[in-house]
Amino acid sequence: MTTPTADWWREAVFYQVYIRSFADASSDGVGDLAGIRSRLPHLVDLGVDALWITPFYPSPMADHGYDVADPRDVEPTFGDLSGFDALLADAHAAGLKVTVDLVPNHSSDQHVWFQEALASAPGSPARARYFFRDGRGPDGSEPPNNWPSVFGGPTWTRVPDGQWYLHIFAPEQPDLDFANPEVVADLEETLHFWLRRGVDGFRIDVAHGMAKPDGLPDMAPAEDTGLFADDGPGDLRFDQDGVHAVHRRLRAVLDQYEDRMAVGECWVFDDERLAAYLRPDELHLAFNFRLLTADWEADSLRSAVQHSLAAVAPTPAPACWVLSNHDRPRHVTRYGGGELGTRRARAAALLQLALPGVAYVYNGDELGMPDVDLPDEALQDPIWERSGHTERGRDACRVPVPWSGDSPAYGFSTTPDTWLPMPAGWGPLTAEAQAADPGSMLSLYRSALALRRSSSAFTGEDVQWLPAPEGVLAFRRSGGLVCLVNLSGAPVPLPEGEVLLASEAVADSTLAADAAVWLQG
């Protein structure tokens, strides 16, 4: 019997590889599994413990891999199963755990099941794996309910025989019905497939989806704004109580193997409701998105930390911190961009990595990558089309990672014609340039991760808030680490203690504005 603290993931730093944008070994301008394999030394030098690889399964790419046509194979653009096995073997040999994305909530419209459903009659078992319903209105020409799609437009698309099917995301991503035992059984088979190959765990896409309320009732628009709830009470698309039965089934499969884990993408902001996903027989971890959605402002960040800790307190899970991912603007940009954004991102890295629990680093965070202003014609995210060109979507945070050299594709690929264009002027941002500069973001991350791994100051699951000047976050871990983040806009005095690491040079015992420091208290 292992004790909870023996679990490898409890304090791990995970690195999110957005596969299309990490490294391209096949020279087609799109990242791939062989590219990841070739860049494992970067991850070892960085000092992360584990990878999360975004979906690499056969997909028509209507949502860049989150529309899965076959969850138990590899998309040729990304490689093949033997290439995956080779990557897994190399990563394990290098001491890195490997977790993969699981996309249970929906399939691609090209999945054999959906094709079968389209070819079958209303009321058939093939349609019962999805949500096919008759429309409303005299001739059924209105959607079955009023739910909006996350990507814009209605959640319903009509098929030629007059029925409609539900898709919370793009029309190419029909939602599966988890009340159907066949759907759950197939998901279990997918888990076994990858677990038997040796993966160490899963990131579960839309882990707060996978259950819809009986009868699919209309959502009520808010009285004051007339708008629908978007994640939270009243949003009937997500966080329905029935979802927990699915998580219990998933966990029962994981528990048949040793040392495996799952982290859920749960956009749930109520602490108690989030805690429900972390009961002992459900998920091991749930992303807490409060840090990712907090402003660069002391009260907002403090509250993000407090809520994240409060959510996990009644559960066996540690907190799980995220600053950026492939769905939201990168934090350098969120914090103001340019030098200011970068300076704040350096401080934020020390905040994130000082907190107890798990940290997820998104590829390029360690280089301080900003969002990129892409021209209209380069945009690929389905949100851009679905919103009638009113929302630009998520491409800006998905631009390929620059590795070396002075011009596109900066070592990401041999072709400059990458799937999203890389801007000019990124020479100084490359991993190669930053590795040679002790003052770079990459050097800061390397030092921080090395300290986090080797120093006993980073032990303890609690955060003790320390008295601090207005606008300054100060806390201590029970192992002795003290972390200060200065959001006051002016320099502040440093408390006693040996400086372990600082995001800006510490002089005259003061900490500059928008800087953070780690002290051995």
Catalytic residues: 205, 272
- Measured from the CB atom, the residue of 11 and 101 that comes closer to ligand TEU is 101
- CA angle at 267 for the pair 275 and 382, rounded to the nearest 5°: 160
150 is an interface residue for ligand TEU by CB under 6 A: yes
CB of 506 to ligand TEU, least distance (A): 38
Starting from the edge strand earliest in sequence, which strands make up the sheet with 358-362, in order?
285-286, 261-264, 201-204, 97-102, 50-53, 13-17, 358-362, 320-322
231 is an interface residue for ligand TEU by CB under 6 A: yes
- Measured from the CB atom, the residue of 150 and 345 that comes closer to ligand TEU is 150
Helix-then-strand count for the chain, H and E:
14, 18
CB of 30 to ligand TEU, least distance (A): 16
CB of 494 to ligand TEU, least distance (A): 39
66 is an interface residue for ligand TEU by CB under 6 A: yes
DSSP-assigned letters across all residues of 382-415 = HHHHHTTSS---SGGG-PPPP-SSSSTTTTS-S-
| Helix, strand or coil, per DSSP, at residue 317 | coil
| Cα distance between the two ends of the chain | 35
The label of the residue with tokens 């704004």 reads 225
| Number of residues near ligand TEU (by CB under 6 A) | 13
φ and ψ at residue 99, rounded to 5 degrees: -120, 150
CA atoms in the 13 A half-sphere facing the CB of 166? 28
169 is an interface residue for ligand TEU by CB under 6 A: yes
CB of 212 to ligand TEU, least distance (A): 14
**Residues pairing with 15 in the sheet:** 51, 361
Q: Return the amino acid letter for 492.
A: V
> Can you tell me which of 32, 49, 63, 175 binds ligand TEU, judged by CB under 6 A?
63
CB of 394 to ligand TEU, least distance (A): 7
Helix (H) or strand (E) holding 483: strand 481-486
Residues 98-117 that bind ligand TEU (CB under 6 A): 103
- Measured from the CB atom, the residue of 63 and 200 that comes closer to ligand TEU is 63
Mask 179-218, x = binds ligand TEU (CB under 6 A)? Answer: --------------------------xx------------
- Measured from the CB atom, the residue of 420 and 502 that comes closer to ligand TEU is 420
Q: How far is CA 137 from CA 121, 216, 228, 470, in A?
A: 21, 16, 22, 59
Q: Return the amino acid letter for 355.
A: L
Among the listed residues 335, 358, 355, 353, the one whose alpha carbon sits nearest the alpha carbon of residue 345:
335
267 is an interface residue for ligand TEU by CB under 6 A: yes
Can you read off the two tokens belonging to residue 75?
């998309």
Strands (E) in 250-303, as ranges, are 261-264, 285-286
Cα separation of 340 and 462, whole Å?
31
- Measured from the CB atom, the residue of 203 and 452 that comes closer to ligand TEU is 203
CA atoms in the 13 A half-sphere facing the CB of 377? 0
Mask 316-335, x = binds ligand TEU (CB under 6 A)? Answer: ----------xx--------
CB of 267 to ligand TEU, least distance (A): 4
CB of 100 to ligand TEU, least distance (A): 14
- Measured from the CB atom, the residue of 56 and 403 that comes closer to ligand TEU is 56
276 is an interface residue for ligand TEU by CB under 6 A: no
CB of 229 to ligand TEU, least distance (A): 10
Residues making contact with ligand TEU (CB under 6 A):
63, 66, 103, 150, 169, 205-206, 230-231, 265, 267, 326-327
